[in-house]
Amino acid sequence: MKIKIIGIPLDLGQSRRGVDMGPSAMRYADLTLRIRKLGHEVEDTGNISVPVREHLPEQFAPGFGEEIAKVCGVVYTSGSTTIEQGYFPLFLGGDHSLAVGTIGGVTDRSSSGVLWFDAHGDFNVPATSPNGNIHGMPVAILCGYGLDILVNLGRHGPKVKARDIILIGTRDLDYDEKGLLRESGIKVYTMREIDERGIGFIVNEALEHLSHIPNVHVSFDMDVMDPGVAPGVGTPAPGGLTYREAHLAMEIVADSGRARSMDIVEINPILDRGNTTAEIAVELVCSLMGQKIF
C-alpha cells in the first residue's frame, strides 16, 4: 500500500493536557520505519496546525467548537484528497474529536463502514454531556446530532449512517448517552459480549454486518485497551481489551482486505510509562498493515 501519515495534535476536545503529543510519541516509536519494513510506501506529511489552548480565551462547555471545526475542516480536505490520490490515510491523534474530520473526509466521495474501538460511546450531545468535552461527541456528530458547526462540516448533514458504524469494546457510558445510543440503532459490542463470545467472533461478525460496504475505516481509541496494558490515556476505564485481543482484532480486519483508512487517538505521553502506549499503538497499526506472527 501507499500510506500517508497525517498528524493531528488536537487537544481542544477534552480537558486533560498532553494528548497533543500523541503523534510525536508514535513517531518516536519508529512508526514510519516499522511500516516500511512491511513493504509499504510511506509518506509522513507532518502535523496539521492546531491552536494552542493557552492562546485561546476561556470558553464554557461545550468549548472550542469553532476551533475544532476549523482544524477538522483541514483534516476533512486532507482525508478526501489522500483517498482520491490512492493513498491509505493514517491519522495520528490527538483527541477523538478529530474523527469528525477524518471520517468526514474519507467518506466524502464514497461511503465507508466504521469500526470504532473505544471504551466510551462518544455519543453525547451538549445537553447530555456531563462535562461538555467534544471528544465525547464525535459518533453522535457523524450521525447528524449535536453542534451544527460540526455536523455540517465539509458537507451538510450526517457523514455516516447509523447502520454503518459499529462500536467495539464499549464499557463506560454516561446515563443519558445510553438512551441515545439505543435509539440510534448503532450496533454496540460491549466488553461483556467480547468476554462471552470472543474478540475474533465479534470482529468477524462486525465485518459481516458491514458487508454491504466494500471499504472500512478503523477508528482506534487507545483507551479501549485495559489501562494495565496501555496506561497512557486520559480517560482510562478498567476491564478493556488485552494486548492479544487488540492485535487479533487488527489482524482479522487486515485479513479482510477492506481497511482503507485509520485514525489512532488519545495517547497521552504524560500519563504513560516509558512510551509503552505509543509503542503498542505502532504495533497495532502494523498488524492492520499486514504484519503477522509467522
Residue 103 is predicted with a pLDDT of 98
- The reported pLDDT for the residue numbered 109 is 94
184 is a domain residue: yes
15 pLDDT above the threshold of 90:
no
Which of 95, 177, 223, 245 is an active site residue?
A: 223
By DSSP bridging, strand 165-170 and strand 187-190 are parallel
* Residue 266 bears catalytic tag: yes
145 — pLDDT class (breaks 50, 70, 90): very high
Instruction: Please report which confidence band the pLDDT of residue 183 belongs to, taking 50, 70 and 90 as the band edges.
Output: very high
Q: What percentage of the chain exceeds 70 in pLDDT? A: 100
**Mean residue pLDDT across the chain:** 96
Distance between CA atoms of residues 112 and 121, nearest Å: 19
**Predicted local confidence at residue 53, as pLDDT:** 85
Percent of the chain with pLDDT over 90: 94
pLDDT, position 61: 67
Grid coordinates representing 97 are 474529536
Residue pair 223/119 in contact (Cβ under 8 Å)? The answer is yes
The three cell numbers locating residue 177: 448517552
294 is a domain residue: no
Q: What is the pLDDT of residue 157?
A: 97
Tell me the residue range of the domain where 67 lies.
2-288
Q: What is the pLDDT at residue 62?
A: 81
Among residues 11, 20, 95, 96, the one annotated as catalytic is 96
Interval 47-71: pLDDT, tens: 999 999 888 888 776 889 999 999 9
On whether residue 159 sits in a domain, the answer given is: yes
pLDDT tens digits, 78-131: 999 999 999 999 999 999 999 999 999 999 999 999 999 999 999 999 999 999
Q: In the prediction, which pLDDT does 11 show?
A: 96
pLDDT at 5: 98
What distance in Å separates the CA atoms of residue 136 and residue 173, rounded to the nearest whole number?
Answer: 10
Tell me, what CATH number does 190's domain have?
Answer: 3.40.800.10
Whether 125 is covered by a domain: the verdict is yes
Domain count, the chain: 1
- Asked if residue 157 belongs to a domain, the reply is yes
Q: Catalytic site residue 122?
A: yes
Q: Which of 11, 20, 108, 122 is catalytic?
A: 122
**Catalytic residue list contains 96:** yes
Residue 232: is its pLDDT beyond 70? yes
Query: Does residue 16 lie in a domain region?
Result: yes
Q: Is residue 293 part of a domain?
A: no
Average pLDDT over residues 136-164: 97
- Each residue's pLDDT tens digit, 196-227: 999 999 999 999 999 999 999 999 999 999 99
Q: 11, 118, 164, 177: which one is catalytic?
A: 118
Identified catalytic residue from 221, 226, 251, 263: 221
Residue 239 lies in a domain: yes
Pairs from 122-131 (Cβ < 8 Å, separation ≥ 24): 122/96, 123/177, 123/180, 123/181, 123/184, 123/186, 124/174, 124/176, 124/177, 124/180, 125/180, 126/61, 126/62, 127/176, 128/174, 128/176, 128/177, 128/180, 129/61, 129/62, 129/174, 130/174, 131/15, 131/61
What does the block give as the cell for 20? 497533543
